[in-house]
Amino acid sequence: MKTQLTGIVPPLVTPLSDRDTLDVPGLERLIEHLIAGGVAGLFILGTTGEGPSLSYRLRRELIERACKLAAGRVPVLAGITDTSFTESINLAVHASKHGCHSVVLAAPYYFPAGQPELIEYLNDLVNELPLPMFLYNMPGLTKVNFEQDVIRAAMQWEKVIGLKDSSCDMIYFHKLLRLTKQRPDWSLLVGPEELTAEAVLLGAHGGVNGGANLHPRLYVDLYEAAVAQDLAKVRLLHSQVIELASRIYAVGKHKSAIIKGIKCSLSLLGICDDVMAEPFHRFNEPEREMIRTHLAELGLL
């Protein structure tokens, strides 16, 4: 499992049956659904997984169960992003003990560190990590961008094996691709599914796309068409991705609309419950009905 990660690595939603209770059968169905869809790995405890909203007890339980359920068929990546250095390390140790492939880390998200502070922080963290690590650029939520100097520093550390970019900034992404040519073992993965087509066409290694929870095959096919340089197929599948996103993620009014849309859809598909972690709450019936209509019209129900 030490080889480079390529393909679609969905950021799993966290199936919950209550505020602090994992929906274990839902998790199992979700993982089977994703592996059947051809995904290249499972990323738990990310943004789509509402990682920062979960208790540490639940995060540890999720790591254990996901690794057991995946059973080595695909690598499991665990989010360890935290405002506390010590808690990030604690989670990484737990992930290592239970068989995760690697960990994923965004910048600490309460205090926005300056870029030199960020380099020092990452250096200290990498020194104590028991697993390889992906950086996760998510400035919209962390308030901090991994600028080029940070990337240059990170390229010196063997333990850092790639980056997931959710900045939605393709100019930044292309500069990353240019910058990281000296680390051919790195995986550059793009977060937002609307950008997977172009990212892969122009050199990225895959996508960490929330919509793949719902319809993994679509994203895997899109990725493969892009790798095969089948532009006609890419255009077709890309337009389906845009259609899905334009409908399912536009039902809610707040920033939570994407995660709520995915969880509500999964619940309608019978895969898992749509309980959300605070500060969010599941859609009410009128919004649920709109999601149902969209899923039907998209041929997913």
Residues near a copy of itself (CB under 8 A): 19-20, 47, 50, 52-58, 83-87, 90, 107-114, 116-118, 120-121, 124-125, 141, 143, 168-171, 174-175, 177-178, 192, 194-195, 197-198, 201-203, 229, 231, 234-235, 238-239, 242-243, 245-246, 253-256, 277-281
Least CB distance from residue 99 to a copy of itself, whole Å? 24
Closest CA relative to residue 198, chosen from 223, 165, 166, 163: 223
Least CB distance from residue 5 to a copy of itself, whole Å? 22
Least CB distance from residue 128 to a copy of itself, whole Å? 10
Q: What angle do CA 275, 190, 271 make, to 5 degrees?
A: 25
- When the beta carbons of 71 and 297 are compared against a copy of itself, the nearer one is 297
- When the beta carbons of 31 and 146 are compared against a copy of itself, the nearer one is 146
- When the beta carbons of 74 and 277 are compared against a copy of itself, the nearer one is 277
Closest CA relative to residue 128, chosen from 81, 180, 174, 88: 88
- When the beta carbons of 41 and 191 are compared against a copy of itself, the nearer one is 191
- When the beta carbons of 35 and 298 are compared against a copy of itself, the nearer one is 298
Q: Check if the beta carbon of residue 248 is closer than 8 Å to that of residue 293.
A: no
Burial track 262-282 (b if 16+ CB lie within 10 A, e otherwise)? bbbbbbbbebbbbbbbeebee
Least CB distance from residue 71 to a copy of itself, whole Å? 28
Least CB distance from residue 276 to a copy of itself, whole Å? 10
Pairing of strands 133-137, 206-207: unpaired
List, in sequence order, every beta strand (DSSP E) within the chain: 7-8, 16-18, 21-22, 42-44, 76-79, 102-105, 133-137, 160-165, 187-190, 206-207
